[in-house]
């Protein structure tokens, strides 16, 4: 996911205040790189399956030294780690570097690089992130004793300087054993700002419920009953039965014929009964 807006930035470095020049104060792009779809497919869950180092090219910067992992094994769900992908490196990977490198794209104006860094080790580890302008170091930050992986150890790197052309991050002292990952890399704003300012998901308009027409049923005695539901102001399709209206039935022609035949049979039987009683009395 990328979020791009145009703003004019003024900032401060640790220990000193700097004012951007007129050209630097021009509109700059604000980007957020999360290594996820649609730009990148879901990566494998292990370093071995991911293979050799992958160079990831995005609009603001190129990432190198590590690989993309998707739903990484033994990597807990942590704030600022957007699912499914992260970018990481480890000594047990396939020829991976002991540092992750962020090289800003030529012509891309950057005065702030911020991201989440996750400790993949089973023990606490200290990490150092350094920003450069060309070959000159312009900012550095140390994340001391990040908790072990199973304790969701992570920290937020936020490097600021008048101009940043590259960032290098690695474990303190560059040990032979290393395992760490990054995600949610923000340019020209902090990772917290980038995550909090992400646009909310689109909310579909409320559904409009159109109640069905009344239902008419016919009872065993031929009487028709109209069932009507009262929905009031509801739009969720839930209503209550509030009206039962008997509708007088109109006999069909066949029904009239049966009634006439029945009446005739009854009348004939009645006359024969009276005739028999008269003969007996005589």
Residue % of the chain over a pLDDT of 90: 51
Residue 163 has pLDDT above 70, yes or no: yes
Check whether residue 74 and residue 112 sit in a common domain: yes
Residue 46 has pLDDT above 90, yes or no: yes
Weakest mean pLDDT among 109-123, 149-163, 186-200, 267-281: 267-281
User: In the block, which residue shows the tokens 């992750």?
Assistant: 100
Check whether residue 155 and residue 227 sit in a common domain: no
Check whether residue 143 and residue 25 sit in a common domain: yes
Can you give the residue range of the structural domain that contains 250?
Answer: 215-281
Question: Over the stretch 4-45, which tens digit does the pLDDT of each residue have?
Answer: 333 233 233 333 333 344 344 445 789 999 999 898 999 999
Residue 235 has pLDDT above 50, yes or no: no
Rounded Cα–Cα distance for residues 68 and 41 (Å): 9
Check whether residue 230 and residue 141 sit in a common domain: no
Last residue of a domain, one of 168, 196, 224: 196
Question: Over the stretch 74-88, which tens digit does the pLDDT of each residue have?
Answer: 887 677 888 899 999
Burial class (CB in 10 A: 0-12, 13-18, 19+), 13: middle
Check whether residue 28 and residue 99 sit in a common domain: yes
Q: Would you say residue 206 lies in a domain?
A: no
Check whether residue 149 and residue 254 sit in a common domain: no
Q: Would you say residue 209 lies in a domain?
A: no
Rounded Cα–Cα distance for residues 33 and 116 (Å): 11
In sequence order, which residues have a C-beta less than 8 Å from that of residue 186 and are 6 or more positions away?
30, 31, 32, 33, 112, 113, 114, 115, 193, 194
Residue 205 has pLDDT above 80, yes or no: no
Alpha carbon 175 to its chain centroid, in Å, reads 37
89: Cα within 13 Å, side-chain hemisphere: 25
Q: What is the mean pLDDT of residues 96-102?
A: 98
Check whether residue 44 and residue 105 sit in a common domain: yes
Q: Would you say residue 204 lies in a domain?
A: no
Beta bridge partners of 243: 228
Check whether residue 163 and residue 31 sit in a common domain: yes
Q: Would you say residue 202 lies in a domain?
A: no
pLDDT reported for residue 229: 53
pLDDT reported for residue 78: 76
Check whether residue 95 and residue 232 sit in a common domain: no
Q: What is the mean pLDDT of residues 195-200?
A: 62
pLDDT reported for residue 24: 44
Check whether residue 68 and residue 144 sit in a common domain: yes
Last residue of a domain, one of 164, 196, 228: 196
Last residue of a domain, one of 137, 164, 196: 196
H, E, C per residue of 222-267? CCEEEEEEECCCCCCCCCEEEEEEEECCCCCHHHHHHHHHHHHHHH
> How many CB atoms sit inside 10 A of residue 203's CB?
6
Check whether residue 150 and residue 277 sit in a common domain: no
Q: What is the mean pLDDT of the chain?
A: 77
pTM score, two decimals? 0.63
Q: Would you say residue 201 lies in a domain?
A: no
- What is the total count of domains within the chain? 2
Output the domain CATH number for residue 135: 2.60.120
Residue 181 has pLDDT above 70, yes or no: yes
């Amino acid at each position: 996911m990328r979020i791009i807006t145009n703003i004019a930035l003024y900032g401060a470095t640790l220990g000193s205040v700097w004012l951007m020049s007129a050209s630097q104060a021009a509109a700059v792009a604000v980007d957020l790189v999360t290594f996820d779809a649609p730009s990148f497919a879901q990566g494998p869950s292990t370093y071995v399956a991911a293979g050799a180092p992958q160079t990831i090219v995005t609009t603001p910067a190129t990432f190198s030294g590590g690989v993309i992992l998707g739903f990484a094994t033994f990597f807990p769900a942590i704030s600022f780690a957007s699912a499914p992908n992260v970018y990481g490196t480890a000594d047990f990977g396939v020829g991976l570097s002991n540092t992750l490198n962020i090289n800003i794209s030529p012509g891309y104006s950057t005065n702030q690089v911020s991201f989440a860094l996750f400790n993949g080790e089973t023990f606490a580890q200290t990490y150092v992130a350094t920003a450069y302008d060309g070959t000159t170091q312009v900012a550095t930050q140390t994340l001391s004793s990040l908790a072990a992986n199973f304790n969701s150890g992570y920290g937020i790197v936020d490097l600021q300087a008048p101009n940043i052309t590259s960032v290098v991050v690695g474990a303190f002292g560059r040990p032979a054993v290393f395992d760490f990952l990054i995600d949610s890399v923000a340019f020209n704003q902090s990772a917290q700002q980038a995550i909090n300012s992400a646009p909310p998901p689109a909310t579909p308009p409320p559904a409009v419920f159109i109640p069905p027409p009344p239902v008419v049923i016919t009872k065993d005695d031929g009487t028709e009953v109209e069932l009507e539901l009262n929905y009031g102001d509801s739009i969720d399709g839930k209503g209550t039965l509030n009206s039962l209206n008997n509708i007088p039935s109109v006999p069909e022609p066949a029904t009239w014929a049966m009634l006439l035949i029945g009446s005739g049979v009854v009348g004939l039987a009645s006359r024969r009964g009276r005739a028999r009683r008269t003969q007996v009395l005589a």
